[in-house]
Structure 1
Amino acid sequence: MVEPSAVLGVVFVALGMVLSPGPNMMYLVSRSTSQGRRAGIISLAGVAAGFLVYLVGANLGLAVLFTAFPELLTAIRIAGALYLLWLAWKTLKPGGASVFAAREIPPDSPRKLFLMGLMTNLLNPKIALLYISIIPQFVDLERGNVLLQGIILGCVQVAVALLVNLSIVVAAGGIAGFLAARPSWLRLQRLTMGSLLAALAIGLALS
């Protein structure tokens, strides 16, 4: 149903997105470093619920749209490539505070942590554009059910995002201390992720 190359492409895109600083990472790291791993995991559960909302909603609408207007895939591919290039610039440009910088934040209840994680993800333009402009270009109309392909590829993205974010939540405290003493490592992380995003953008534009 879904080509292995499409799955691999979504894995690389998902890795590039989740490893680049954004609202989800900043919220999860801030909660993990200020309130502990349990708070970070509860917040991650809210983020996961947000992913599911996007996955179901986007695929139900896009399945009908792309079947009726297959030429939209070209426009979406170009829009996705431009967005990845913009994200690469945001990652590579000089300045900006580290996402792992220590912050003083009042503790929140588990319910509020979950809801804030959910809303942070739902209001995250990076995730919205991911499901609207990037993942759909990996759907092949000649390989059958468009809805099923979109759901499978979306689940791949969610799995990658949750595994990476869970690792970040667990290791946030140690990473913050490590990077605070080694700013050159933070610059290397930005350079690596920005370069990866730029390469993905060029690949999408030329595919």
Structure 2
Amino acid sequence: MMDLSTLWLFMAAGWLLNLTPGPDVLYIVSHSLKSGLRAGLVAGLGITAGCFVHIAAAAVGVGALLSASATAFTLLKWAGAAYLLWMGVRMLLARPSGTALAAAPDAAALAVAALPLRKVFLGGFWTNVLNPKVALFFLAFVPQFIAPGTENKALAFVLLGTLFNVNAMPVNAGWALVATWMAKRVGVVQQRLQVLDRVAGALFIGFGLKLALSDRPAP
């Protein structure tokens, strides 16, 4: 059984890792800036749901398959890269919506321009699920905190992965709160959302290219 000091170390490492900017953080921040706190929180919940898929897959050995099989890793890597590139291109080519919002940059106007929360959730879910490095992260990180003598290692993995996910939720909510706070105090963000779309689109394309060009980590 994990002692208290190791548990705190696990939680602290999780917080630090979730504070690191990446596609998931960008997804939460961009939706919070564009559509408000609720959209940012829903984006975070979608990402959390995606993490649960990786936890379950790693627990039953799919993560080990990705780590051992170059073909499996490459297939999922290209699927994830294609999805990030598709999101980025869609944002770059989106019709400017800043004119309508500039005339009425209030909560009601933002609500009209916002994506349905279901789409925000699913976007966060697939952004996370289609990133093989998340699966490999869980496979590499979580087992370090499982005692060698643990009888049911799969159950221990699921419990620690769930703790990591729950631990990440306040961080994701924090990103959403900070981005929403910024949006309310920087009017140009609300008035020129097309600029945000272009910047976020370029970043998503960058993440997609980085994923596509990445090598499989050594087993």
The normalised TM-score by structure 2 is: 0.56
Counting aligned pairs with the same residue, the percent is 32
Larger Rg: 2
Distance 2:180 2:139 in 1: 34
1:55-70 counterparts in 2 under 5 A?
55-61=55-61
Matched, 1:14 2:21: no
Q: Deviation digits for residues 111-133 of structure 1, max 9, x if unmatched?
A: 21111010111133552232121
Counterpart of 1:116 in structure 2 is 123
Shift of 1:55: 1.3
8 Å Cα contact 1:2-1:143 kept in structure 2: no
Q: Would you identify which runs of 4 or more consecutive aligned residues in structure 1 move more than 3 Å?
A: 175-178
Alignment size in residue pairs: 142
Counterpart of 2:202 in structure 1 is none
Q: Among residues 125, 129, 136, which one is paired with 1:129 in the alignment?
A: 136
Distance 1:124 1:161 in 2: 17
Amino acid at match of 1:3: D
Counterpart of 1:148 in structure 2 is 155
Amino acid at match of 1:58: A
Amino acid at match of 2:50: G
Q: Among residues 170, 180, 183, which one is paired with 2:177 in the alignment?
A: 170
Q: Deviation digits for residues 140-189 of structure 1, max 9, x if unmatched?
A: 121332112111211221011111101221231325769xxxxxxxxxxx
Partner SS state of residue 60, structure 2: helix
8 Å Cα contact 1:48-1:162 kept in structure 2: yes
Q: Compared with structure 1, are the counterparts of its residues 175 and 4 closer, same or farther at alpha carbon in structure 2 (3 Å cutoff)?
A: farther
Matched, 1:34 2:34: yes
Distance 1:62 1:6 in 2: 26
CA RMSD of superposed structures (Å) = 3.0
* Alignment gaps of 5+ in structure 1: 66-71, 73-103, 179-207
